[in-house]
Amino acid sequence: MKTNPPSHLLFWLGIALLLLLWLTNVSLGSVWIPVQEILGRAIGTPFSKTSWEIIIVDYRLPKSLTAILAGICLSLSGLQMQTFFRNPLAGPYVLGISAGAGLGVALWMMAASLVPTAGSAWALGPWQLFFSAALGAFGVMLLISMAAWKVKDSMTLLIIGLMFGSFTSSIVALLAYFSEAEQLKLYTVWTMGSLGSTGWPQLGIFGLATLLGIIPLIESIKSYNGMLLGENYAQSMGIHIGRLRWKMIISTGILTGSATAFCGPIGFIGIAVPHVARLLFQTSDHRTLAIASALLGAIVLLACDTISQVPGSAQTLPINVITSFIGAPVVIWLIVKRNLSREF
* pLDDT over 70 (residue 259): yes
- Residue 98: band (very low, low, confident or very high) from pLDDT cuts 50, 70, 90: confident
Q: What is the mean pLDDT of the chain?
A: 83
> Residue 277: pLDDT band by 50, 70, 90 thresholds?
very high
What pLDDT was estimated at residue 213?
93
Contact (CB, 8 A) for 274 and 82? yes
- From the list 333, 224, 199, the residue with the least C-alpha distance to 268 is 333
pLDDT, mean of residues 112-138: 64
Q: Which helix (H) or strand (E) holds 108?
A: helix 97-110
Dihedral sign computed on CA atoms, order 186, 192, 193, 194: negative
Q: CA-to-CA distance for 309 and 103, rounded, in angstroms?
A: 29
pLDDT confidence band for 194 (50 / 70 / 90) = confident
In terms of pLDDT, which residue wins out, 6 or 14?
Answer: 14
- The more confident residue out of 195 and 29 is 195
The 3-class SS string of 85-100 reads HCCCCCCCCCCCHHHH
Residues 6+ apart with CB under 8 A from 251: 76, 77, 80, 213, 214, 215, 216, 217
**Range 203-210 average pLDDT:** 93
Q: Could you tell me if 148 and 249 are in contact, meaning their C-beta atoms sit under 8 angstroms apart? A: yes
Cα dist from 102 to 110, 129, 338, whole Å: 11, 10, 34
pLDDT reading at 343 higher than 70: no
pLDDT of residue 336: 75
Please, what is the angle between helix 269-281 and helix 61-85, to 10°? 80
Query: What's the pLDDT at 297?
Result: 95
Mean pLDDT of 272-277: 91
The HSE-up count of residue 175 (CA atoms within 13 Å, CB side) is: 24
Domain CATH for 329: 1.10.3470.10
Q: pLDDT > 70: what percent of the chain?
A: 90
User: Which of 25, 83, 125 is closest to 344 using CA atoms?
Assistant: 83
What are 287-314's pLDDT values in tens digits? 999 999 999 999 999 999 998 886 556 6
Listing DSSP states for 230-283 in one string gives -HHHHHHTT--HHHHHHHHHHHHHHHHHHHHHHH----SHHHHHHHHHHHHHT-
Domain count, the chain: 1
Local structure of residue 47 (DSSP, 8 states): P
Q: What is the pLDDT of residue 1?
A: 44
**Better-predicted residue by pLDDT, 23 or 235:** 23
In this model, does residue 206 exceed pLDDT 90? yes
pTM here is 0.88
Task: Give the amino acid at 70.
Answer: A
Give pLDDT, residue 124: 44
Q: What are 127-140's pLDDT values in tens digits?
A: 777 888 888 888 88
Q: By the 8 A CB rule, do 76 and 239 touch?
A: no
- Helix, strand and coil content of the chain, in percent to the nearest 5, comes to 75, 0, 20
Nearest Cα to Cα of residue 286 among 334, 330, 244, 329: 244
pLDDT at 303: 93
* pLDDT above 90 for 149: no
Label residue 160 by pLDDT band (50, 70, 90).
confident
pLDDT score at 21 = 94
Contact call for residues 263 and 70 (beta carbons, < 8 A): yes
By residue range, what is the domain housing residue 333? 5-343
